Structure 1
Amino acid sequence: MIGARTAQANFCRGELGPQLYGRFDVDAWGTALRKARNVIVLKYGGIAKRPGTELVAEVLDPTQPVRLVPFQFSLSQTYALELGQGYMSPCAGGGRILEEELAITAISNASQALVEVAYHGFAVGDRFYISGCAGDMGALLNGRAWTVVAVTDASHFRIDADTRAVAPFAGCSGGTTRSAPPVAPAAPVVPPVNPAPTRPAIYFGGSGQFGGKAWY
């Protein structure tokens, strides 16, 4: 018996399920793949290698399960939503979507590093993402989100980072320096919960146990 090979140029049906492996009589069988790994099916029928991935940042809470959910707002706006325990952090354009970038003027060498940021506006438990720091301090802190463990004053707070073993702070680029405390956003107005509607009573006439009327 002599086997034969036939060229296939159309893969628009993607990957076949196990139930269709032997169903060569189905139209989808001739325009699909049994296994498609690390490829993207193009809308014109061809396939292309899947592009590589890039480490954007460490998840905010690696101690809990985290799920990445793709979200497409429009044809030109796409996001990756990091859904963790009690939080959601959107990522786009190769990084996290953050609040205003603030300038760091000093970081101490301590078991819980003291960070100096003018009028930071943070509270205990807030997450603080650091980037742009130079030297050994930057190698330890950059690209990670740290938790505010204590607030000393309007321009100083401590984070859960042990910086005792690295060289002193050598500067940090980027960010703006505030000259006044930030204006706290107004709390959203939550409408009251509407009471459940009262179910109307329906009755019909006739003789019966309740004087000819049945109520529901």
Structure 2
Amino acid sequence: MPTLLHIDSSPLYGHSVSRQLSSAFVDQWKSSHPDATLIERDLTSTFIPPINAEWVTAVYTPEDSRTPEQKQLLTLSDSLISELFEADEYVIGVPMHNFGIPSVLKLWIDQIARVNKTFSYATGTPVGLLTGKKVTFLIATGGIYDAGTQMASYDHVEPYLRTVFGFLGVTDATVITAGGASALMRGADRATFLAPHLQAVQAHAQVV
């Protein structure tokens, strides 16, 4: 049976649009896969330190030559990478922060983008090792950044995520964006705003 890795990165919890979308996806996916396995990873409640020189040295030290301290430094990274390989599919809730991804999501990416683990240069060119996987990005943005709009070039969320995951071998990617969420701060009805986005999420989760 399939395994889904569910990742959230918004600090707003109950007020988060991206969390509500990812929760709807998971509920629909579980309904369509009643015997499947779900892995939950909340990045806002996971302590992920920034990488440093010692971490980089440990990564590039041959595995059989690593000191106990180096192995300990990579324990979290190994665990996060194991979740990616265990799952067949990923759903990731992502709010836009300052035109990019949240800092906690970037910290996670820095831990899981590891040479000879999730990508390789063994052939002389980069090869992603997370093959046969698919990902759904559920993005919430305060403004409207759709292609063709005046602010489209400010969106560094979708291009970055597609690039990183494609580099790691995950090229089957779907993006569903709830744009204009700042209207909720100005009193817009939440249910009305969310309705079309939830419908799109649920429809997608039925077929993946």
Higher share of residues assigned strand: 1
Give TM-score scaled by structure 2 length.
Answer: 0.21
Higher share of residues assigned helix: 2
Between the two structures, name the one with larger relative contact order (CA 8 Å, sep ≥ 6).
2
Q: Which protein shows a greater Rg?
A: 1
